[in-house]
Amino acid sequence: MKNRIIRFFSRFKTRLFLWSQRSKIIPTYKEDVSSYEKTCFKICLKIISNKDTEFMFAPLSDKKYLKNDLLDIFITFSERRVDITNHVYHYNIKLSDRDWTRLNYIFDKEADKRRIDMETQVNSQIKNSLDDVLEKISNLG
């Protein structure tokens, strides 16, 4: 009986402590974003939204590439770093966690949108049914 009472008060004390911790205001950490990061983020957004930009993704190295021949810009994303090369200058900019996450999300969404567009183009050009393909293959052999 004594152990139960001790355990009850111990649990009560722990719950009271946790409840008091929740009620405290936790200061938020705000990352300072430099002007280079803002400019880099805007450049990447404009290049991603440009229809002439080529997208590449290397799954083993987890790098993402953007190439725009009209603007002579080549951009590489890897490990929170963005490399921008325009055949004259090369910039290597480290992004904040928030901007890095947003940029990856936007890249993935645009790449997926372009993949869906390509699939619809491929599927719209289908002229033969499977039966016709089987018939052609059967006539060969």
pLDDT tens for each residue of 1-58: 778 888 887 888 888 777 776 655 555 555 567 888 999 999 999 999 999 999 999 9
pLDDT grade, residue 94 (50/70/90)? Answer: very high
Encoded amino acid at 78, one letter:
S
Burial class (CB in 10 A: 0-12, 13-18, 19+), 75: buried
Pick from 22-26, 52-56, 68-72, 94-98: least confident: 22-26
Is 70's pLDDT higher than 80?
Answer: yes
Give counts: helices (H), strands (E), the chain: 4, 5
Q: What is the mean pLDDT of residues 57-68?
A: 92
| CA atoms in the 13 A half-sphere facing the CB of 45 | 10
pTM, 2 dp:
0.65
DSSP conformation class of 34? -
Strand partners, 85: 74, 90
Indicate the domain borders of the chain. 35-122
Is 124's pLDDT higher than 90?
Answer: no
Query: How many Å apart are CA 16 and CA 14, to the nearest integer?
Result: 5
Q: What is the mean pLDDT of residues 125-139?
A: 80
Query: CB of 52 within 8 A of CB of 70?
Result: yes
